[in-house]
Amino acid sequence: MRYTAAKGRYQEMIYNRCGISGLKLPAISLGLWHNFGSVDVFDNARKILLHAFDKGITHFYLANNYGPEPGSAEETLGRVLQQDLGSYRDELVISSKAGFYMWDGPYGDFGSKKYIVASLNQSLKRMGLDYVDIFYHHRPDPHTPLEETMSALDLLVKQGKALYIGLSNYNAEQTQKAESILRELGTPCLIHQPRYNMFDRWVENCLTTVLDKRGIGCIPFSPLAQGLLTDRYLKEIPANSRMAKANFLKESALTEVKRHAIINLDKMARERGQSLAQMAIAWLLSNKTVTSVLVGASSAAQLDNNLGALDNLEFTREELAKIDDLCKPVLVA
């Protein structure tokens, strides 16, 4: 059936300014790492994307290698753009990135200008787009001069193939250096994407201070610790869960100490009138450095649940201290 976007789609979402830029991002963005590949059911992927847009999620986030097969998540989005969302292109922020292995030979990985420029050209073809809104370098490359990687990103902006530039997985010092180079080139660094959730707080202090000082936005990935910070694994490991299906979330991650913390956090969330997933998202949004929280979802119902986080974003000092206490035994800092 022909898709028409919901009329009230901008009424409930919160839009936050990204750093000191002119761009606003929805408080919740959707990542297409899992569940959007060629191995997944297209109708479900389409349903999640359209539901997201109907709920005011204007930002879809990809990478060259998302699938499996690598590249197929971009193709899925391309298909949905072609059949449903194409006429809404100017209401969408579409992001992609390069930095991990994508193709064989010396030019398909890391951070050379050769790889980055070729990779975005390929991504644009797969999505059927002329430009992406944000293009990221996926991870620092220890062997390529930072100047070369940043000048590749700058080139793509100057060519009109990307509007803004982002960095992912760069530490505080690397971010500072990259930001200075980009600024000199005349292409500001818009946004940084670190792993950040209640269990993994390496970004706090060092990286967040750099982001605040330099006016860079922040979009945490894996805000639910890939599903651990939800009710998904409270009783068992469901057969259709990421832990059962994919290699990225191993059973060994669910230690007894972690399970104990999850049970107590879940109880606390319910006392706040939220699901654990909602509390985990709200907790990130209570950090003023955070522009948008990048969630994943395997169904439209999960996405809806996550959107409910916006109904209660407030925490008392006691609640924040209690969360710190419950997470302490499993904290990555």
Ligand X SMILES: NC(=O)c1ccc[n+]([C@@H]2O[C@H](COP(=O)([O-])OP(=O)(O)OC[C@H]3O[C@@H](n4cnc5c(N)ncnc54)[C@H](OP(=O)(O)O)[C@@H]3O)[C@@H](O)[C@H]2O)c1
Select the span of 86-94, 251-259, 260-268, 294-302 touching ligand X (CB under 6 A): 294-302
Shortest reach from residue 120's CB to ligand X, in Å:
16
Closest among 54, 60, 59 to 16, alpha carbons compared: 59
Q: What are the structure tokens assigned to 260, written together?
A: 């104990």
10 Å CB burial of residue 313 (0-12, 13-18, 19+) is middle
Neighbouring C-beta atoms of residue 88, cutoff 10 Å: 15
Q: Which residues of 145-179 are buried (b: 16+ CB within 10 A; e: fewer)?
A: ebeebbbbbbbbbeeebbbbbbbbbbebebbbebb
Cα–Cα separations (whole angstroms), residue 167 to 78, 120, 193, 209, 241: 23, 15, 6, 16, 29
- The yes or no reply on residue 302 touching ligand X (CB under 6 A) is yes
Residues 317 and 125: their CA atoms lie apart, in Å, by 49
Tokens of 121: 């050209």
Between 214 and 232, CB nearer to ligand X? 232
- Rule CB under 6 A: choose which of 23, 28, 32, 52 binds ligand X: 32
Q: Does 221 bind ligand X (CB under 6 A)?
A: yes
Give least dist CB 225 to ligand X, A: 6
Per CB under 6 A, does 48 bind ligand X?
Answer: no
In whole angstroms, the minimum distance from the beta carbon of 251 to ligand X comes to: 13
Residue closer to ligand X, measured from CB, 101 or 158? 101
Tell whether residue 193 is a contact of ligand X (CB under 6 A): yes
- Binders of ligand X in range 84-113 (CB under 6 A): none
Of 206 and 300, which has the nearer Cβ to ligand X?
300
| Interface ranges with ligand X (CB under 6 A) | 31-34, 61, 138, 168-169, 193, 221-227, 230-232, 241-242, 277, 294-298, 302, 305-306
